[in-house]
Amino acid sequence: MRTDFPIAAFNNIETPFYYYDMGLLRETLATALREAAKYDNFHIHYAVKANFNPMILAAMREQGIGADCVSGGEVKAAIAAGIPAEKIVFAGVGKTDREIADALDAGIFCFNIESVPELQAIEALAAERGKVAQVAIRVNPNVAAHTHANITTGLAENKFGINYEQLDEVIDCIEGCEHLTLIGLHFHIGSQILVMDDFVELCSRVNELQKQLREKRGIVLPHINVGGGLGIRYDEPDECAVPDFAAYFAVYAENLKLEKGQTLHFELGRSLVGQCGSLITRVTYVKRGTCKQFAIVDAGMNDLVRPAMYGAYHKIENLSSCDACEKYDVVGPICESSDVFCKDVELPHCKRGDILAIRSAGAYGEAMAFGYNCRALPKAYLSDSIG
Compute the distance between CA of residue 110 and CA of residue 99 in angstroms, rounded to an integer.
Answer: 13
CB 50, min distance to ligand LLP, A? 5
DSSP 202: H
CB 49, min distance to ligand LLP, A? 6
Q: Which of 51, 192, 281, 360 binds ligand LLP (CB under 6 A)?
A: 192
Judge whether 160 and 154 are in contact, CB under 8 Å. Answer: yes
Q: Which is nearer to ligand LLP, 271 or 318 (CB)?
A: 271
CB 129, min distance to ligand LLP, A? 26
Compute the distance between CA of residue 21 and CA of residue 381 in angstroms, rounded to an integer.
Answer: 9
Q: Which is nearer to ligand LLP, 186 or 375 (CB)?
A: 186
Q: Which is nearer to ligand LLP, 16 or 231 (CB)?
A: 231
- Which positions ≥6 away from 238 have C-beta within 8 Å? 1, 2, 3
Q: Which is nearer to ligand LLP, 355 or 363 (CB)?
A: 363
Compute the distance between CA of residue 281 and CA of residue 319 in angstroms, rounded to an integer.
Answer: 10
Q: What is the dihedral of CA 103, 106, 107, 110, to 10 degrees?
A: -30
- Which positions ≥6 away from 200 have C-beta within 8 Å? 251, 255
Of 251-270, binders to ligand LLP (CB under 6 A) are 267-270
Is 151 a binding residue for ligand LLP by CB under 6 A? The answer is: yes
Is 303 a binding residue for ligand LLP by CB under 6 A? The answer is: no
Residue 305 phi/psi, 5° resolution? Answer: -95, -10
CB 128, min distance to ligand LLP, A? 27
Q: Which is nearer to ligand LLP, 191 or 281 (CB)?
A: 191
Q: Which is nearer to ligand LLP, 153 or 383 (CB)?
A: 153
CB 13, min distance to ligand LLP, A? 25
Q: How many residues at the interface with ligand LLP, by CB under 6 A?
A: 22
Q: Which of 141, 154, 228, 243 binds ligand LLP (CB under 6 A)?
A: 228
Judge whether 109 and 153 are in contact, CB under 8 Å. Answer: no
Is 229 a binding residue for ligand LLP by CB under 6 A? The answer is: yes
> How many other CB atoms are found less than 10 A from the CB of residue 352?
11
* Helix/strand/coil for 95: coil
Q: Which of 3, 53, 191, 302 binds ligand LLP (CB under 6 A)?
A: 191
Is 360 a binding residue for ligand LLP by CB under 6 A? The answer is: no
Compute the distance between CA of residue 387 and CA of residue 384 in angstroms, rounded to an integer.
Answer: 6
CB 367, min distance to ligand LLP, A? 8
Of 51-70, binders to ligand LLP (CB under 6 A) are 68
Is 47 a binding residue for ligand LLP by CB under 6 A? The answer is: yes
* Helix, strand, coil in percent for the chain, rounding step 5: 35, 25, 40
Beta strands in 94-160 (DSSP E): 110-113, 133-138
Q: Which of 91, 170, 183, 334 binds ligand LLP (CB under 6 A)?
A: 91
Greatest Cα pair distance, the chain, in angstroms, is 71
Judge whether 316 and 242 are in contact, CB under 8 Å. Answer: no
CB 172, min distance to ligand LLP, A? 24
Judge whether 315 and 234 are in contact, CB under 8 Å. Answer: yes
CB 216, min distance to ligand LLP, A? 26
Is 28 a binding residue for ligand LLP by CB under 6 A? The answer is: no
- Which positions ≥6 away from 355 have C-beta within 8 Å? 7, 10, 11, 15, 280, 281, 282, 283, 318, 319, 320
- CA distances 19 to 9, 65, 281, Å, are 11, 22, 10
Is 74 a binding residue for ligand LLP by CB under 6 A? The answer is: no
Q: Which of 25, 50, 81, 295 binds ligand LLP (CB under 6 A)?
A: 50
Q: Which residues bind ligand LLP (CB under 6 A)?
A: 47, 50, 68, 91, 151, 153, 188, 191-192, 227-230, 267-271, 306, 310, 363-364
